[in-house]
Chain A
Amino acid sequence: MGFSVSKDPRGVVIVGVDGQLIVGNRQELKQKVLDSLEGGTRRFVIDFTKTGYIDSSGLGVLVSLSKKVREQGGDLRLAGLNEDLQTLFELTKLDTLFAIAKTPAEALAAF
């Protein structure tokens, strides 16, 4: 359980969410992305391939991070959502706010 952070050769930061993104751990994800943003990173992929569930606080933190990254001229993309998580984004209409790719590789290729 937790978050893994890696960087591709072009400087895109990929954050993997292992287990869940919920009210109890969202702050940790927020801090990791904000630290990278502060360090100059402008392109992010949040990878949900290993994520079981996301609650509304988790959705909220993604919304606020995406806004912060955009304000700095960057882009935050999502990848690897399973069918249930994809449905969650659709019913909250957040699928209209994010670029969502099937896999992290596809998200990286789209930058």
Chain B
Amino acid sequence: MVSEMKRACSKIVLLFLGAFFLLLFTGGEVSPADASVPIAIIKKVSGSATIVRQGHNISATKGLEIWEKDTLCTGRNGSVGIVFNDDTFLSLGPGTVLVIDEFVFAPKQGKFSIVIRMLKGTAAYLSGLISKLSPESAHFKTPTASIGIRGTKFVAKVEGD
């Protein structure tokens, strides 16, 4: 019994060390926000859709949490819809690649920021509380343009390569 516990403990220690070294070696940028905090949830998925997080591919499923810096990708017939913590709605059509560069929603500290960068495809965006409380902090970027958002709904198509 004791030796089993010992083995379980060493497993845990190994895991912790592994994670520590992973963080040490993969961390290029140091972001002020804690990138491992969920900032949105997948509400709808259809066809093929993937989240790319720190180099790993995660299959997009309903209920999956999204983190800051995640890249959202959809396949030829995929689509995905997510809701951020501030009630911003973002959905992607097929063949889309989009990155969540920034998301901060801390009303008590007066901190607000949402920056989304779309590389290609189609997306629909319905602004949430960050746009209502701090419109200058909400930006949607394409390779050519930056969209400033004042509490509203729009769709964007980016022709990728």
Q: Do A and B come together as binding partners? A: no
Give A residues with C-beta under 8 Å from B.
none
Give B residues with C-beta under 8 Å from A.
none
